Amino acid sequence: MSRQPRSYKDLPLAPITYEDTREAFKTGSWRTFKPVVDNSRCKKCWICWKFCPDMSIRILEDGTGVEIDYDHCKGCGICATECPARCIEMVPED
């Protein structure tokens, strides 16, 4: 939070936001089930990525599959339901 204001003198004239929510809100703690991906069976259709309402699925740079952002994934299970290869499994959080 390097840009967090220390006094009113640091504040802008109008309310503006400093940062996005990525660091401040780790919504992964909301989860009861977590998606676990088996990339060996991934068909690279990116359907899971396309439907994620939490921007919590990243396509691996080399295109070999996807990676879940467990800091933010809320465990809704849309990815597991929509995956045509059924290579995402929802497992209970421990």
Phi, psi values for residue 66, rounded to 5°: -130, 165
Of 50, 67, 89, 93, the one binding another protein (CB under 8 A) is 50
Distance CA(52)–CA(77), nearest Å, equals 9
54 sits near another protein (criterion: CB under 8 A): yes
13 sits near another protein (criterion: CB under 8 A): no
For residue 87, the one-letter residue type is C
Query: In the complex, what is the shortest distance from the CB of residue 39 to another protein, in angstroms, rounded to a whole number?
Result: 13
Distance CA(51)–CA(73), nearest Å, equals 13
Of 34, 36, 82, 92, the one binding another protein (CB under 8 A) is 82
For residue 80, the one-letter residue type is A
**Binding site residues, another protein, CB under 8 A:** 15-27, 30, 44-47, 49-56, 59, 61, 63, 69, 71-72, 74-78, 80-82, 90
